[in-house]
Structure 1
Amino acid sequence: MKIDRIHHVAYRCKDAKETVLWYQKMLKMDFVLAIAEDFVPSTKAPDPYMHVFLDAGQGNVLAFFELPTQPPMGRDPNTPEWVQHIAFKVKDRAELLAFKAHLEAQGVEVLGVTDHGIFHSIYFFDPNGHRVELACPDPHEEAQLKELDKVKWEMLEEWSKTRRAPKHAAFLHAKEFSASPADGKAAS
């Protein structure tokens, strides 16, 4: 048995229509499907919802639930907002920069470009407060992935024993952290 791929990823939204329109305008995603019910099919609980699906490219689907009878959306107060996010791959740095310019022109606050070594990213929030990342491959991605593959189990084992960041992959962000904070280039 083996998983084929992710069928869809679902998040909660405040307003289904606003969310669909935002993802269409900001990230050029197509609206592909809506499902609405008064009862949850899996649990049979009475809980009206609107479930919308967006085409995130290459068979990837991003979905949202609007739940009007539930308490307002919240966040886990013990998890920093940068942790939980969804990341989408774009073709290259030119495309990443084009998205950054497009988002900023629409009034979206964008953080980055952050150089993660194997890829470069920008970050922003959707109208529901979900953090979104767009990432493009680094020109040296393949060689760096080979190096990371060699040390992944060692790193995981060291982390599980010490709960301290192993230094095997420190090369990825070395240039980011060597930049002075005044340059505005420190990694986020």
Structure 2
Amino acid sequence: MVGNFLAEDNARMESSRLLGRLVSLYGEVNLKNSTLSLPVDLSISITRSAGALGPDIYAFGEEIVYDVKVVNRGPVNEEGIKVRDINILGTISQVTSSLAQTLYNPLTSTWAVGALEYGETAELKIKALINKAGLSTISALVEGAGVDETIQNNSVVQNFCVLLSEPTPILGPTEVCAKNKYVYRVEPVSGASRYTWNVPPIGAIS
């Protein structure tokens, strides 16, 4: 059984397993050949290394370090803990964990934490190279084998911005003759997917 049960008088559970609470307001609680497991509170947080252009502003090609932290806030130990749907930006170059036996699978975006005692913390550091410009979102969700009643801290979502480098000046002749062909160029900007050239109308050129 899963849930919380409240009795006004005596409460008795026999040959059962309850994941939750069994409470009596005015009587006694008796367990016979039964197992009572309390809900556990798991929390997750993500911190990032500061961007070169600001706390939440990064440059294309910059190295970023994500620190994913899971805490068992109790009141009991928990097993079967995993962090899933880990959505991060960048090409991963290194992954380290504070718990040697834990594994991170980049193919499934899952970190198998395993068991954590009450008050214990596990950390996963992911180093990556930013490979996409624009507004980016990172997220993750933690869950265990039992019931977590405090779901507000089971997931995390963050937004940040990645900027391209400034474009260089357009190179080419500044004086031209009508009906002739000329070549202009700009130096490539890493991460740019396209370039837009704005040419004034013919009548505006002097």
Per the normalisation by structure 1, the TM-score is 0.22
Looking at secondary structure, tell me which structure has more strand per residue. Answer: 2
Higher alpha-carbon Rg: 2
